[in-house]
Amino acid sequence: MTTIAPEKIEVGKSLLGESVPRKEDRRLTQGQGVFVDDIKRHGMGYLHFVRSPYAHAHIASIDVSKAEEIKGVYGTLTGEEVAALTDPFFQIASEPGGKIKDFSLAVGKVRFVGEPVVAVVAETRELARDASELVEVEYEPLDALVDARVALGSEAPVLHDDAGGNLMWEGVYEWGDLDQAFADADQVIKIDELHFHRFNSTPLECDGALVEYNRGTGQWTIHTNNQFPGFAAIMMGPAMRCGLDKLRFVTQDIGGGFGNKITSHPQLVTCCLLSRKLNRPIQWTEWRTDFHMSMSHGNERWFRDTEVAVKDDGTLLGFRTKALDDAGAWLRYEPLGGVIWAQVTPGMYRWRHIRVEFTQVATNKAPVSPNRGYSRMQHLWFTERVIDIVARELGLDPVEVRKRNYIRAEDMPYETPNGCIYDSGDYARMLDIALDLIGWDSMGEKRRDAESRGKRLGVGIGSTLDSGTNNFGQSRMINPELQFSGNNEVATVKLDIFGEIVVTLGTTPQGQGHETTASQVVAEILNCSVDDVHVRAGHDSYWNSHAGFSGTYASQFAVTGLSAVKGATEMLREEIKKLASVIFGGVPVEALELAEGGVRIKDNPEAFLPFMACGAIINANNAGLPEDLGVTLNCRYVYRPPFQVPDIERKFGNLTLTYAAQIHVAVVEVDPETGYYDIVDYAAVDDCGKRINPQIVEGQVMGATAQAIGAVMHETFEYDEDGNLLTPNFYDYHVPHALDMPPLHTGAIESPSPFTPLGTKGMGEGGGAGIHAVCAAIQDATGKIVTDSHNPYHRVWELMR
Amino acid sequence: MNVAVTVNGTLYERDVEARKLLIHFLRDDLDLTGSHIGCDTGNCGACSVILDGTLVKSCMVLAVQANGSEIETVEGLADGEQLTALQRAFTDHHALQCGYCTPGMLMSATSLLRSNPSPSDEDIRKALQGNICRCTGYWNIFEAVKSVAR
């Protein structure tokens, strides 16, 4: 492993930029984390779902009587009961998708294999599973729709009669002057069809919950690994006909999320209803096979009839394409994927004339939901494929085409054709670093060496953006009726009675090290040690440190979470000084400074008030303090990024605050006889602005890279023509193992964001670059155009035939 | 059926169903929740424990099969507050993110280093191939294990 880091500029000693060891690790390396399945309650019942064996069928009848007769079975819940007790989930989509009726269990019809139909609760996990076998469901099977490309044909079976067909959402995005661009072009490159496949990040811990109902207060306490409780709450409350204060969300440790744990609200509603119905805590832990069959597949997308306007020298003028998105059976977060891609409309390139006709349809497959790189990854894979196909058709070097067209460092901040503001970056420099890391200069020699061994060597580049901190106003492009915009996150920082510095976050970390990086920011501002800062693990909506968009998703903690921490800590610092000013007999606050775990007079360090004294005075010894002191030492700050509501008519505006970038280069060796290939060298260069903890950032880069390698080589959710998932667990869905990993070189530059309080950018989702890079490398090695994001060995072999 | 096992030096006796998996026995009956479950198929290794000196995936063993055995789990690695060199190396090398696979990884690596204190790079990768990690890409786990090999 090689690492190239930016040169450090020493400006005093700062904790921001230090690879402080993670505070989370001590409990996690001893098996002392608390994950959702670790939580137990007296008398709890284990929930098991009876799931549909059909991709598409009417439910003729359900009989739970045999299951309920078994000793130790506490009860059941059916779709019919759900339809009586709840309202359909709120739909993000405008019509026609907005008309579908989605409940927490199937009502009247099933629409994908694995869809929950009945919930059974019993004394043990095993008994709940056994009893589920005794639930009798009569189905009347219907034809299944598994290919989105025929979803709008007159022959296609219709999933949702309420929507009048399989069209869920469509919209046309057009910016610039397409006619002029194509008139000015020396050549028009046409690409019939590109396909981005269906997979997800398969967090090692599946979804789960332990739900308790308090009959006296009418409140549910939901211990869960849902990673976006703010979203779950606004989905669940209206459906359950209760105020959001009745839904208390609690998490501690979450075993990976990657976006896949955003849309568990239907299962959580089922748990809530059963905990009330059966008057006991409900424990639900999803089985791996259930997760694969039913949760959060990444968006499968086709790009059809693409035309690219280019000059002979490789200058890109614009493109038009028709994007077709397969949403699966339900819109659980969709059709937001229909606009999220627009955060990165031009990719990293300066073309100004772009038209995308976006269509999203329903199919009899698991519902799609956010997956690391959500919707931008699909679009950026498309733009990178276009670059490499254009380079090939024009006989140009893909490196040169990129450098000719990359948005330049001097163009920053850069306004894209659709009004997004790329904050900072130097893509060409990143590419140079990445090429150096894989020994670009000696590539000719390496090609000859591979040929001498009967192999074909290929090099591929993946340039990608990791847009972060959403402006939720973009949802109005999907549905103008929606009343969302902006973003927010909350933190509280207080001095407790013995001077303990206690921090709460609104976020729900799943391995991103928030306790550590938040501590670094607090310690920096209070001028104390990281060890003196106690960040509460996890999330609890009782802490009051949350807002509507709280959670951990979409590359934003380094901006939203840490800016909230910074704001709250600065408030606390000023309050400490204000208190000390009084205690020191009216010394002006400007004469005070924080140091060594207390506050002191700059010119007279002997006059020192430790945090312990500050905490004790305010909390327990406050007689005689001035009435108008206004100090609580318990500070709550809401960070709100500077956003405007986008122009919905023009589909124009800044959709995210920061644009981190990654450039990956993959070197592959293909065996022309078999299609087998190895990634023999690999470089990933990251720029996420100011890095608070470089080791954590590099860890994110590595992990995302591994997921990309898995996706491009092995991982796919593939269905047969009847709608059966062929890869329903890790037996058939191969994720990379230790032996699968190629040599890796990492590098980084830092282009601080001018728009964020710490110069940081959200990051963690740039790994899609690996898919782009490996596809490009296969194209380079085989000389054949790669049209699919999934390239197992047999597909490479077919490519070369 | 009656099962008596010694886990991390403590003897436990319980009456369990014959079909209960060892991992569910450890987690649900003994409240030793450090070992985790990540799959239904024996692929992921999050439940790895050492049984009578041999590394096993505890979802592939019935609790009753473990009767009379000595089991080591992640909870038994540290000596009180004193973490093992391997546990410390996992932090130093940032070999964990969410920490869900970590107990299994630590048990696999511990088992390797006991039988082979000076493993080659290939030995380390092979020893870890039965454990899935979705966060790190394995590079840092490899470096952590390598750093404590002699």
Rounded distance, CA B37 to CA A38, Å?
11
Contacts A699 to B, Cβ<8 Å? 94, 97, 135-136, 140
Domain ranges, ordered by start, for chain B: 2-76, 85-148
Q: In CATH, what number does B85-148 get?
A: 1.10.150.120
pLDDT (mean) for A331-351: 98
Could you report the per-residue pLDDT of A41-93, keeping only the tens digit for each? 999 999 999 999 999 999 999 999 999 999 999 999 999 999 999 999 999 99
Radius of gyration of chain B (CA): 15
Could you report the per-residue pLDDT of A118-170, keeping only the tens digit for each? 999 999 999 999 999 999 999 999 999 999 999 999 999 999 999 999 999 99
Could you report the per-residue pLDDT of A433-472, keeping only the tens digit for each? 999 999 999 999 999 999 999 999 999 999 999 999 999 9
Could you report the per-residue pLDDT of A251-308, keeping only the tens digit for each? 999 999 999 999 999 999 999 999 999 999 999 999 999 999 999 999 999 999 999 9
CATH architecture, domain defined by B2-76: Roll (3.10)
Rounded distance, CA A698 to CA A683, Å?
12
Contacts A34 to B, Cβ<8 Å? 33
Contact check, Cβ <8 Å, A35/B35: no
Check if B74 contacts A (Cβ < 8 Å): yes
Contact check, Cβ <8 Å, B138/A736: yes
Positive or negative: CA dihedral A323, A326, A331, A333 = negative
Q: For chain A, positions 206-235, list CB contacts with chain B under 8 A.
A: 206
pLDDT at A7: 57
Contact check, Cβ <8 Å, A738/B73: no
Could you report the per-residue pLDDT of B107-132, keeping only the tens digit for each? 999 999 999 999 999 999 999 999 99
Check if A699 contacts B (Cβ < 8 Å): yes
Contacts A729 to B, Cβ<8 Å? 39-41, 43
Nearest alpha carbon to residue A770 among A433, A463, A495:
A463
Distance from CA of A624 to the nearest CA of B (A): 44
Distance from CA of B117 to the nearest CA of A (A): 19
Amino acid at the residue A371:
N
Could you report the per-residue pLDDT of A715-724, keeping only the tens digit for each? 999 999 999 9
Q: What is the mean pLDDT of chain A?
A: 96
pLDDT (mean) for A185-213: 98
Contact check, Cβ <8 Å, A253/B17: no
Contacts B43 to A, Cβ<8 Å? 729-731
Contact check, Cβ <8 Å, B33/A287: no
Distance from CA of A389 to the nearest CA of B (A): 30
Distance from CA of B135 to the nearest CA of A (A): 5
Walk me through the domains of chain A, giving residue ranges and CATH numbers: 36-142+206-254+262-294 (3.90.1170.50), 171-200+296-415+422-473+645-800 (3.30.365.10), 488-639 (3.30.365.10)
Contact check, Cβ <8 Å, A30/B92: no
ipTM strictly over 0.90? yes
Tokens describing residue A736: 């990379």
Contacts A24 to B, Cβ<8 Å? 99
Residue of A nearest to B43 (CA): A730
| B2-76 and B85-148 have identical folds | no
Nearest to B41 among A37, A125, A730 (CB): A730
Distance from CA of A699 to the nearest CA of B (A): 6
Positive or negative: CA dihedral A702, A706, A711, A712 = positive
Distance from CA of A254 to the nearest CA of B (A): 6
Tokens describing residue A60: 């003729």
**% of chain A residues with pLDDT over 70:** 99
Proportion of chain B in helix, strand, coil states, percent, rounded to 5 = 35, 20, 45
Contact, A102 vs A160, CB < 8 A? no
pLDDT band at A8 (very low <50, low <70, confident <90, very high): low
Q: Residue A493 gets which letter from DSSP?
A: E
- At residue A151, φ and ψ (nearest 5 deg) are -65, -30
Contacts B99 to A, Cβ<8 Å? 24-25, 27-29, 33, 253, 255, 511
Check if A31 contacts B (Cβ < 8 Å): yes
Contacts B106 to A, Cβ<8 Å? 29
Check if A636 contacts B (Cβ < 8 Å): no
> Is the confidence at residue A713, as pLDDT, over 70?
yes
Q: CA dihedral in degrees (A31, A34, A38, A39; nearest 10)?
A: 150
Contact, A466 vs A766, CB < 8 A? yes
Rounded distance, CA A609 to CA A782, Å?
71
pLDDT band at A776 (very low <50, low <70, confident <90, very high): very high
> Is the confidence at residue A9, as pLDDT, over 70?
no
Check if A204 contacts B (Cβ < 8 Å): yes
* 3-class secondary structure, A643: coil
Check if B58 contacts A (Cβ < 8 Å): no
Contacts B101 to A, Cβ<8 Å? 204
Contacts A738 to B, Cβ<8 Å? 124-126, 128-129, 131, 138, 141-142
Check if A298 contacts B (Cβ < 8 Å): no
Could you report the per-residue pLDDT of A673-703, keeping only the tens digit for each? 999 999 999 999 999 999 999 999 999 999 9
